[in-house]
Chains A and B, each alone.
Chain A
C-alpha cells in the first residue's frame, strides 16, 4: 500500500488540472449571467443577463429597476407573490421567465416592456393581466399555462407579433371575441380548459399551424374552420363534439386530426376525400364499424386509429 499524504495531494492539486483555473477568464459584462440583483448592481451600466432561478427568494429586490440594461431575466422557481413596480424600468427586456412562482397579478408597469419578445408566466396564480400588455408589440411567445385564468381580456388581442400562445391548464370558459386579430399566431395551446365554444373571429387565425383544444367541453367546431388554411394539426381530443364541420376537408395543409373521446357518431362526407390527411385518431367515439371501414377504403394512405 502506498500511503498518500495531504501535502502531496495538495501539491498535485495545485500543479494539476486546477492550475487551469489560475487563468482568470475575461469578464464580459454583457455576456455574464449575474446571480443576484446586488451583484448586478455593481455593473448596472452594462448588466444584461440576470438569473435568479431557484435562489429561494420570496421578495424580488426592487432595486432590480436600476438594472435598465437587462435584456434577459430568469426568475423561475422562487416564491414571488408579486413583482415590484420598479420592474417597469426594465425597458430593454427581451426575455423574461417567471415560471413557478406564486404571482397573483402583474404590476401595470410591465407595459413598459415594449421590447419584450419572450415571456413565461406559467405555473403561477394569475387570473388576469394588466391592461398595459397591449404595449407588448414585439412579444412573440407568451406562456400562461397552469394559472387561474377563466377568461382572457381583449387587450391580449393587441399582441401584434405573437407567434405562440400557451394557455393550457387554466379554467378558461371563453375566449376574447376578437381573438382572430392575432393574425401572426402560429401555435395555440388551449388544452385542459373549460371552453364550450369558440368565438366567431377564431377562424381568422389563418397563420395558425398547430391548434390544441384538447380536454375542453367543445360541442362543435366552427363551420368556417377552412379559413385557417395554415393548420397542420388539430387536437380536439377529450371534448364533446357530436359533429365535424364539412369544411374541415378544405384544410389542405392538415396532416393530423386528433378526435379521440368525443361523441362523434358520423363523419362528414367531405372527410372521405382528404387524401392528404396523414393521421386521424377516432378512439373513443361511437362511430360504426361500417363508417370506419368506408373511411379506410376511401383514405388508404391515412393512418386511421379508432
Chain B
C-alpha cells in the first residue's frame, strides 16, 4: 500500500515558530545541520554555473555550519567584506552528501533551513527552495524582508525526486536584506520523516464487528457523510417528519441524544429516543420512536413516532444528552436555564435529570402522587448526560459549565430507582497531571434548597473544575470512568474505588495533539482539535468520541491507545455545518444510532442510503450506521446460531476475518489446552473441500484458511478439538 504522509503538523506549527510537530514521527537525518560546507564570501557574482553538481569548488573555503556573522553563535565566521555599510549582498555555499537509497513512499523529504535573511537552495542543479526571496534574483537582489524569524529553522518539504542515489550536491545562495544588515546566518538539515503508524489492536475483534474498520480520510466537512467503506447508513428521521398521530404535528429539530432502548434485549426491536436541544423552554423535549428491523429488506422501520409529553413537569429545557439505563428507561439531561420555581414546589424548574418510560412515553412518578418528578437528588446543574453502572445504583454525571465543571457520582438507595440517593462530587488532590488521586465529597441533597444549590456547595468544598464536562461513560473493559472536557478537548479517565479515585489521567487529546491516522490511502495526520463532546463505548471497550467543534469528527479510540503509543482512528467525517450527537449501540453492537445536529441547509449532495433512498443531510437527521453485512442490500443472511458454535469446553473462536472473503480467512481462537486439531471446510452440499491437521497451543492461536481456489458460496468451517467442534460460516465472494 502506498502511504501518503503530509507534514500537516509541521506546517500547522510552523506559524507558531516551533520546530517539532507533536504527531509521532520517525526522523532520519541525512545531512546534519552542523555539516561542513564550502563557501565563497568574496563578494563576487557567480552567475548560475556554480549551482551545477560538477562545479569546481575546490578553491572555496570550508567550515562547519552554522556559518555567518553578527550573532555570536556561528561555528564558522564568513566575511561580509571590508565595509560594514556596504556588505556583500550574496554569499555562496556548497556541500555534498551520499545517499544509499531513495526514500520510501512513506517518507517525506524535509529540509530545515536557517537563512538570515533570504536564500535560494539548489539540489543537484535544480532549484528546490526559495525562501524570503523574490521570484527571480541575481547576485545583487536583496532578500524580500528583514524577518523577525530569521533564526528559526524553517521547514520545507521537497519532492523525493530531487534526490538521487549516490552523490547529491547542495548549492545555496544567502542574500542580505540590505547592505548594512548586521548579521548573516546559514545552516541546513536534510531529513527523511515518516509517521509512526498508529498502534493496531483489533486483531481479536470479530471480523464483522462494527468497530473493525479502516479510518476514513480526514477533511473539512463535505456536504455529505463519510463513513468507512465497509459500513453503510440508513436515514431514519429528519426534522419536520410527521409524528404518527397527525395531531402531534411534526418532529422538532436540534436532535441530540439518540438512545436505542432494546425491547427484551433485542437488537432488532426497540425504541429510539431523540432529544431536541431546542432550548425554547418549555417546548423542548424528546421524540420517542418505535423501530423494528425488517429481515426482508435488512433495514429499519419506524412503526411509531410520538413526542414525549412533559406537561406534567412543566416542560423541560435544553434536552442535551442522556443515557439508556440498564433497566431500559431513558434519562434525558437538562442543561440549566434561568428559570425560577414557577410552580412553587421548592425546586427550580429547569436543570435536572428526567427519567422516561419509553413504552408509555411518560415521565417517572417516583412518589406515586400522580404528578411526575424530575430526579431532584442528582442535583441542579447544566447536565450533559449520565451513565448508570451495571449495579443499577451508581450513576456518574458531568456538569457542562465553565465555572462549575464538576464530575459527580450519585448512588441510588435502591437499584433501579433513581428517586433517592447520595450525591458526591469529585475533588482531586491537585491538578490532573500532578496527581492521580482524589476523593468523592458528599453533597447534601435532602431538601429542595440543597438540590437547587449543589453547584454552590461543590464550589465551597473545592471540587475540581474540569471546565465544561460533557459526556461521562464507563468502560466495559477496564471499568474506569471516562469523561470529556470540551474546553480542554480531552478525554480523562479514573478508577473509582468507592470513596476515593485513583489513576486519574488524560486518556486522549488535547486539541493541539496531532494523531497519525491509517487510512486506505496511507497514513495521514489529523489534529484532534477542539470540542470533544459525546462518548460511546462499544462492548469491546472501543471508545467513540464525538466532536462539537474542530472539524466535528467521529473518532474511535481503541482500548490499547496510550498517549505515548497512540491508536486513534477516524470513523466519520460529518456533513457540513453539523455537530454529530448522541451515539448509542444496539446490544449486539451491530447498529450505531447517531444524529447529525444542525447541518447546513445548503448541503446538496444526495447519498443513497441502505434503503436505496436518495437522502441529503440538509436538516436535522437521525441515522443508523452498520457494517454492510448487517444493513441494506448487501446484508448477509443471518448465521444460524443453532448450528454455529463459537465456544466449547477448551476453546473459543474469537474472530474470523475477513468474512466475506475473496482469498484467505484468518481464524483467531483461544485455547485452554494444547492439543491436536482438525480443521475442515464444508460446502453447501456437505462435501469436505478442505482439511488440515494443526496443533493448537494453550493461549491465543491464529492461522489462515486459503479459499482462493474455491468457488464463491457459503462454507462451514469446523475445528475439531478433543472430541468437540467449533464451527461457523464463511462466505467466499
Chain A interface residues (CB < 8 Å from chain B): 1-10, 12-13, 16-18, 20-21, 23-28, 31-33, 35, 49, 51, 53-54, 56, 72, 74, 76, 95, 97, 99, 118, 120, 122, 140-143, 145, 163-164, 166, 169, 186-187, 189, 191-192, 209-210, 212, 214-215, 232-233, 235, 237-238, 255-256, 258-260, 278-279, 281, 283-284, 303, 305
Asked if B613 contacts A4 (CB within 8 A), the reply is: no
Asked if A303 contacts B444 (CB within 8 A), the reply is: yes
| Chain B residues with CB under 8 A of A53 | 254, 278-280
Asked if B278 contacts A74 (CB within 8 A), the reply is: yes
| Chain A residues with CB under 8 A of B247 | 25-26
Q: Which residue of B lies closest to A23 (CB)?
A: B246
Give the complex CA separation of A14 and B643 in angstroms.
35
Give the complex CA separation of A195 and B341 in angstroms.
26
Tell me if B727 counts as interface (CB < 8 A to partner A).
Answer: no
Give the complex CA separation of A160 and B403 in angstroms.
30
Give the complex CA separation of A17 and B234 in angstroms.
13
Asked if B246 contacts A8 (CB within 8 A), the reply is: no
Chain B interface size range: 35 or more
Contact partner of A13 (CB less than 8 A), chosen from B279, B297, B457, B637, is B297
Give the complex CA separation of A33 and B302 in angstroms.
24
Give the complex CA separation of A1 and B459 in angstroms.
60
Distance between B291 CB and nearest chain A CB, rounded to angstroms: 8
Asked if A12 contacts B611 (CB within 8 A), the reply is: yes
Tell me if B158 counts as interface (CB < 8 A to partner A).
Answer: no
Tell me if B683 counts as interface (CB < 8 A to partner A).
Answer: no
The stretch from B445-453, B467-475, B507-515, B560-568 touching chain A is B445-453
**Chain B positions 331-356 with a Cβ under 8 Å from a chain A Cβ:** 337-342, 348
The stretch from B72-80, B206-214, B237-245, B482-490 touching chain A is B237-245
Asked if A21 contacts B459 (CB within 8 A), the reply is: no
Give the complex CA separation of A266 and B431 in angstroms.
31
Give the complex CA separation of A237 and B294 in angstroms.
58
* Binary flags per residue of B572-594, CB closer than 8 Å to A gives 1, else 0: 00000100000000000000000
Give the complex CA separation of A298 and B341 in angstroms.
33
Asked if B250 contacts A25 (CB within 8 A), the reply is: yes
Known: A20-B305, A186-B341, A278-B444. A1 touches B632 (CB 8 A): no
Q: Known pairs A12-B299, A260-B462. 10 more at Cβ < 8 A?
A: A1-B636, A4-B297, A8-B297, A9-B612, A12-B301, A16-B297, A16-B299, A76-B279, A95-B280, A233-B449
Tell me if B634 counts as interface (CB < 8 A to partner A).
Answer: yes
| Chain B residues with CB under 8 A of A56 | 577, 600
Tell me if B296 counts as interface (CB < 8 A to partner A).
Answer: yes
Asked if B612 contacts A187 (CB within 8 A), the reply is: no
Asked if A2 contacts B294 (CB within 8 A), the reply is: no
| Chain A residues with CB under 8 A of B250 | 25, 32
Asked if A17 contacts B297 (CB within 8 A), the reply is: no
Asked if A10 contacts B612 (CB within 8 A), the reply is: yes
Asked if B633 contacts A3 (CB within 8 A), the reply is: yes
* Binary flags per residue of B271-296, CB closer than 8 Å to A gives 1, else 0: 00000001111010000000110101
| Chain B residues with CB under 8 A of A49 | 280, 283
Q: List 25 contacting pairs A-B, 8 Å CB cutoff, sorted by A.
A: A1-B636, A3-B634, A10-B612, A10-B613, A12-B299, A12-B611, A17-B291, A17-B302, A20-B244, A20-B302, A32-B250, A53-B280, A74-B278, A74-B280, A118-B339, A122-B338, A192-B403, A215-B403, A233-B449, A233-B453, A256-B450, A256-B453, A256-B456, A283-B461, A284-B462
